[in-house]
Chains A and B, each alone.
Chain A
């Protein structure tokens, strides 16, 4: 069941969530990109802005319709909140005082959260830091109203319409200055009731469906529809790895913007006097030599082997390790690669020449 939420009621929605004790996090303009940050009202949202993305390119552009969510995904995902880039392990850091509410989360990002849930809390040694932040986080999802040139969520079966894992989901009907809102949880439904939203008409619902269908049809890219696990396992010595290694800078950008990459390194620090030792973890990347370091040297010394590790992990070995693929088709790795390397193109090239 979908309901109508006018643009003017967006701040009431935020207030209803905040009243329940949540800290609001949503899209904000920062450093020439749409990032995630603290928001207090709809005035903080990037209304009237969009982004143009392609391999190695990201540019903000003005749009004249004032849409609140008229952009694709930016360089950051909610990963930076659930799994911060750096945090203290020992002595244990204090638990966060507030629960987080994420505003504007896209279908690919919801899938990424579900994938990281598997990694961080699905095994024998769940991570309590992730669990505390993740558990009970409120999620207001947004169905994508447009596809970027690096988007390929349809071919990863991860979007553009959200299907689960949200409290509330919005579809923005820009011309009507309103959203259609649906609930995925009881607490979401409670808020819809509290705001006194009217049920959407059949025509409004059809208009919202048409928006996500149009987005799905406009995907900028597609992952080849193959058994990627078989393809990659059979082609670990494919000449394409040399080809891509000649372009790859091993800069790790793709892993930093990826919403599912979870590798972290653990480091001990202390004062100059050796007192007050602490243990920290911070995001690591399989593109660094240190990632595979053993006494005597690294296992993966070449860029070829590190790119192969990253791509085969995302699309093949992840399935063996965690029972799900590690890619959601968000396209960030393509957009933010300074060399414009395109994961879908690399897979297609391996498929074409094997």
Chain B
């Protein structure tokens, strides 16, 4: 039976700083990536430190606030990128922001990609659709310490060639001899000469050593399910596969209760989880 919790407050407890108070960040640049996706470069009021995989709460006053992963190189703290897909009222307003506008920002929140734990083996980064931006900081951080890893592999899938994010970066990454990049699309017209098919199908032919590989995976939940299945089938251990989970999130401060995933609060215990820790919960429908 439950024991009585310890008392937490003493009569002279100081008032804590307000988690709900954002700071104004200036829009330094807005780039339309695809039909429905925009990358905003934001200038924080003071140098901003974050870890790859973490997210910020971005808001447009009067419209609302949403969690958005940081998509820039963590070595760059004065121009912080957020790649946003227009799927609702707030993301639409964010996608419409112009240079010079102010966005209200608080963060960073959440857990990061375990790059240190991945060192010593191959690093396999697997992204589906809007899952690439949250992985981009991890790729930059890994390239900044390239000698720590064996092979570094990026597997990326989008719906159509026109939905591919960061095409010029993909081209420069593909040109590197220390990085393997494989791209696929679900459907394409006759002018596409690349792969057509789902992301998990790229895993079998990717040149990594499953016994020493760590995988970071982000994409729609269904894509992550099949990707994990393919990774496990290839021989990657479940505790070396990491996912970034998404749930309704309204506070990012472990208070509002929306981002529950079984015993976890995704904003606090995630978004990055080892597959092993969430496997049992992902197996339950509508959890």
Contact = CB atoms under 8 A, between A and B. Distances in A.
A268 B59 contact: yes
Nearest to A274: B62
Nearest to B89: A268
A229 B117 CA distance: 31
Contacts of A124: 253-254, 268
A239 interface: no
A168 to B, nearest CB: 16
A125 B255 contact: yes
A264 B256 contact: yes
A131 B13 contact: yes
Contacts of B87: 295-296
Interface residues of B, number: 48
Interface stretch (A25-33, A172-180, A299-307): A299-307
Contact of A263 (B13, B64, B65, B257): B257
Contacts of B116: none
* Chain A binding surface SS class: mixed
B9 interface: yes
Interface in A112-135: 114-115, 117-128, 131-132, 134-135
Nearest to B16: A126
Interface string A235-270: 011000000000000000000000000111111111
Interface in B212-243: none
A286 interface: yes
Contact of A121 (B16, B88, B248, B250): B16
A89 interface: yes
B263 A121 contact: no
Most buried by A among B5, B15, B20, B264: B5
Interface string A293-330: 11110011110110001001100110111011100000
Interface stretch (B156-164, B176-184, B279-287): B279-287
A156 interface: yes
A278 B1 CA distance: 43
A131 B16 contact: yes
B59 A127 contact: no
Interface in B57-114: 59, 61-65, 87-88, 91
Given A156-B1, A266-B251, A317-B262, A128 B9 contact: no
A294 B260 contact: no
A236 B255 CA distance: 24
B22 to A, nearest CB: 8
A118 B9 contact: no
Contacts of B59: 268, 279
Contact of B20 (A89, A123, A158, A296): A89
A294 B246 contact: yes
Given A122-B8, A320-B263, A266 B256 contact: yes
Give the size range of A's interface with the partner. Answer: 35 or more
Nearest to B17: A128
A117 B260 contact: no
B260 A118 contact: no
Contact of B8 (A117, A284, A291): A117
Contacts of B91: 295
A277 B247 CA distance: 26
> Which of B18, B258, B265 has the most C-beta atoms of chain A within 10 angstroms of its own C-beta?
B258
A164 B7 contact: yes
A292 B258 contact: yes
A317 B263 contact: yes
B58 to A, nearest CB: 13
A225 interface: yes
B9 to A, nearest CB: 5
A89 B252 CA distance: 14
A15 to B, nearest CB: 22
A341 to B, nearest CB: 19
Contacts of A300: 286-287
16 contacts: A114-B4, A125-B253, A127-B19, A128-B15, A131-B15, A236-B287, A266-B251, A267-B64, A268-B62, A274-B62, A279-B65, A284-B258, A316-B263, A317-B260, A317-B262, A325-B2
Interface of B: 1-5, 7-9, 11, 13, 15-21, 59, 61-65, 87-88, 91, 246-248, 250-258, 260, 262-265, 268, 284-287
Interface of A: 89-90, 92, 111, 114-115, 117-128, 131-132, 134-136, 155-158, 163-165, 225, 236-237, 262-270, 274, 277-279, 281, 284, 286, 291-296, 299-302, 304-305, 309, 312-313, 316-317, 319-321, 323-325
The 9 closest A-B pairs by CB, nearest first: A277-B62, A320-B263, A263-B257, A125-B253, A305-B286, A270-B62, A325-B2, A295-B87, A277-B61
